[in-house]
Amino acid sequence: MTRLFPRVHLLPLLITFLLVTGAATATYSQSAVRITNLRCNNATNPLGIDAPAPQFSWEYVSAARNFRQSAYQVLVSDSREQLDNGNVWNSGKISSAQSSGVVYKGPALKSRQNYFWKVKTWTGDKEISSHETANFEMGLLQQSDWGGDWMGFPSGWIGRVHYFRRVFSFGKEVAKARAYVAAAGYYELEVNGKKVGDYVLDPATSDFSKRVYYSTYDIRDFIKKENVMVIGVAPGWYGMPKMKMQLEFTFTDGTQEIIPSTGIRNVTLGPVISSGILDGEVYDAREEKPEWALPTDTIIKGLPSQHWGVAPVVEAPGGFMAAQQLEPIRVMESFHPIAINEVKPGVFVIDAGQNMAGWLHIKVNGARGQKVTMKFSETLYDNGTVNQENLRTAWATDTYIMKGGGAEEWEPRFTYHGFRYIQVEGLTAKPALADFTVKKVRSSVEEAGSFTCSNDLLNQINQMVKRTEASNMHSIPTDCPQRDERMGWLNDLTVRIEEAMYNFNLHRFYAKFIEDVADTQNENGEITDTAPYKVGGKPADPVSASFLLLAYKSYEYYGNTEIIVKNYPKMKAWVDYIATRTKNGIVDYSYYGDWSPPAEFGQKGYGYGAISVNTPGDLMSTGYLYYCANLLARMAAVTGKDADKATYDALAATTLKAFNDKFWDEKAGGYGSNNQSCNSFALFLGVVSKERIPRVVDNLVKNVEKYNYHLTTGNLCTKYLLEALTEYGHADVAYKIATQQTYPSWGYMLSKGATTLWERWEYETGGSMNSHNHPMMGSVGSWMYKYILGILPDIEHPGFEQFIIRPYILQDLQFASGEYKSVKGLVKSAWKKSGSSLELNISVPANTTATVFIPTKDAGSIRENKTKVKGNKNFRFLRMEEGAAVYEIGSGDYSFTSKW
């Protein structure tokens, strides 16, 4: 059972020694191994970072088996010529297989400095040199590095996009040019009429009173002798456009020039008449000013004037300037819609074919002043027009006013929408599909996983989960992309984290978001329900274990120890606060608990009907205190805080006793109300004593059967239900729940045309709480990876230093196949049945090992590429366990067959 912490069988020390030193039998040659994918802070050649101790990682490409790194040496220099000497830092030869999360331990790094780095590694006594040279450049490390002030125009033009302009020229050659840009609100920077970078909706969302993110751009290729810079700043999440930036130029003669934001005073209005994240954007093409791109101030007739103002210094948002070190938001996919219907004369409704987050690019041709409106929605009324009721106060409408004179193209810059349908009005003729391009917009994190199996319903569910998660990554993990909310809810995230990590590389994304959570904390240790804090409770519901899980799962999956070290004091303060809110060991408050179960199990007329009637809030809150105390004890051990480990082990033990004393029902043989949520949560936590487990499991299964293999759980316990059933011998029951097609189920959503997950198990379209793009019910996605594919990290060997392949071979499936891009490389797991035989294909990345559970009725029947495995020295037999032969294998590709 992957309970609170997975059951781990440690390998004998001799085996580990043989693998790390390279003394084990290997079937590779040095020439077959190549170091690749050098990353600093999990980014390729990052520009403008501010981490005082960056982390380095690398991978290997090797088709050979059993490769294991035995040592590494990282070299950092301030010039390419000095790299072999490592004149800034030479780690020395470190005996270790570590290849991710290697922390810089050299002298203090300098603002603006570009550094080069490479790595040498060894396997046994053989050296492997990296042919790649990587680099990273520091941003502005000190607040005093910023020479200018915050600029704005607060006395007028409220709600408009403000455009700041500066002309500059040079009489000598520019060798290096950087733009450091921050805004309270979204911005877009142009130099000499060309947009700088491909970021959109920048900067990342934050609590502006605590920290403001800036991005660093290399603008050398934009620079000419005569230059002009224009930056448009929209209200964004802040509500009032403000900007702070710094242009820095280094010339070939070694001299420098800096233009701070206080030197960028000219401000005006432009074609964006209004822009709001929730309401949409109005753009008047008649107000476009192509002359702005001319590097001259002669276009400004008097200053100040009716059209141009002098921007004053404005009050700073309050937060410190921090380098934006997560992936920026970008346009990630573009495609034409699948249908256009004229539902009324002149009213056209576009079907994008799927629910998503982003916007619409249009091609139009019309008269000057002709107005085209675009209303976005997730659903339609019966008459075919868009239904925006569930958007609540969000207008979600874009407007384009034509300049006339020929074909025109446009898309918004400072807003985004959650939608499948777009209602277009104002056109004089029926448009073609090619006139519209749908653009998906999200944080540009890499995709990490893929899954497919013989049951296409599961494939569709997996796609629905992944699409929903992708729609809700806009520098924070939002709850929904469409209505007047789009917040980083911590209760939802508690059960989203693993699913999201299997689908996307969130190493940097989560490192940023945990700081957003930490920024909500007050002196009592309280955090808030949402981060950055906008709505919800303060203090947060105790189910918000996501604060700790962001760090713990980043350590488990990515090997990131520093995220624990950096955030440990605040995580500890949060657990300490929850502990103060107990009476006789039971936490005394709850807001949401197991939120949004099927409607019949919700409280009518209260809390949107989403608060569970049968799952006690104090049971959930107390269970999460136990969970968090255990998590904190584990993280205390990781960071060498032995006294804290003892303290939180004791807190966990005390809470465990209180939980059992209060919620165990001896007569019923279950916890709380003996429903699916209470019993699956208890099993997940590992609070059930050995002698009670059979009764609890039996009651859980009977309850599922009672409801004809349908779930009765909410957002949290849906995850625990599937996992507990699977790990306690009832994977077939979990599978039946996952593959239901009648209400309530994921299949039911699909049967109603869903392409993304709903907020409720019911199909609802009115106002209130009826999002149709809501990832909180998506934990079934991680169940597919963890149990059907069987790809699991090993917490005792974090960062996939060693991992587990343990697939559950389900009766109704004929095959399953998938992969996960770990920090070590690509992990693959695929199995298929053939009569009484089972074929299991596995890929283990170089420099890692896997504990593989090969399902079989006869261990002697196992073959690997037709070679008998039993007794083969290349495969280390560990044990038989629950119908599987367990082997330790090194890196490489394997094809096992067994009698099953």
Q: Known catalytic residues?
A: 485, 759
Between the CA atoms of 57, 61, 67 and 72, what dihedral angle is there, to the nearest 10 degrees? Answer: -30
Nearest to 495 by CA among 694, 702, 680: 680
How many C-beta atoms lie closer than 10 Å to residue 816's C-beta? Answer: 24
Q: Is 373 exposed, middle or buried (0-12, 13-18, 19+ CB in 10 A)?
A: middle
Indicate the SS3 state at residue 682: helix
Q: Quickly count: other Cβ atoms within 10 Å of residue 210's Cβ.
A: 18
Cis peptide before 744, with omega less than 30 degrees from 0?
yes
Q: How far apart are CA 592 and CA 612, in angstroms?
A: 8
> How many CB atoms are closer than 10 A to CB 92?
10
Cβ–Cβ contacts within 10 Å for residue 549, how many? Answer: 23
Integer angstrom CA distances of residue 867 from 212, 377, 860, 896, 897: 60, 58, 11, 9, 10
Pairing of strands 280-284, 397-401: parallel
| Coil/strand/helix, residue 168 | strand
Asked if residue 168 lies in contact with residue 217, where contact means CB atoms within 8 angstroms, the answer is: no
Half-sphere exposure at residue 547, Cβ-oriented, CA atoms within 13 angstroms = 39
Query: What tokens does 396 get?
Result: 């979600």
Other CB atoms closer than 10 Å to residue 245's CB: what's the count? 28
> CB–CB of 326/475 below 8 Å?
yes
Q: Residue 315: exposed, middle, or buried by beta-carbon count in 10 A (0-12, 13-18, 19+)?
A: exposed
**How many whole angstroms separate alpha carbon 663 and alpha carbon 334?**
52
For 272, the 3-state DSSP assignment is strand
Residue type present at position 783: W
Which of 150, 226, 207 minimizes the C-alpha distance to 181?
A: 150
What b/e sequence results for 393-423 when a residue is b if at least 16 CB atoms lie within 10 Å of its CB, and e otherwise?
Answer: ebebbbbbbbbeeeebebbbbbbbbbbbbbb
Q: How far is CA 19 from CA 846, 850, 874, in A?
A: 12, 12, 12
What tokens appear for 348 in the block? 């056209």
Q: Which letter does DSSP use for residue 668 in this model?
A: T
E strand or H helix at 438, and its extent? strand 436-443
- Residue recorded with tokens 């390279």: 22
Query: In DSSP terms, which residues pair with 425 in a beta bridge?
Result: 347, 373
40 pairs with which residues across the strands?
Answer: 43, 56
- Residue from 780, 790, 739 nearest 757 by CA: 780
Residue 144, Cβ neighbours under 10 Å: how many? 8
Q: Is the dihedral of CA 750, 753, 756, 758 positive or negative?
A: negative
The amino acid that residue 616 corresponds to is P
Q: Where are the alpha helices (DSSP H) in 752-820?
A: 780-783
What is the secondary structure of 186-229 as a DSSP string? Answer: -EEEEETTEE-SS--SBS----TTTEEEEEEEE-GGG--SEEEE
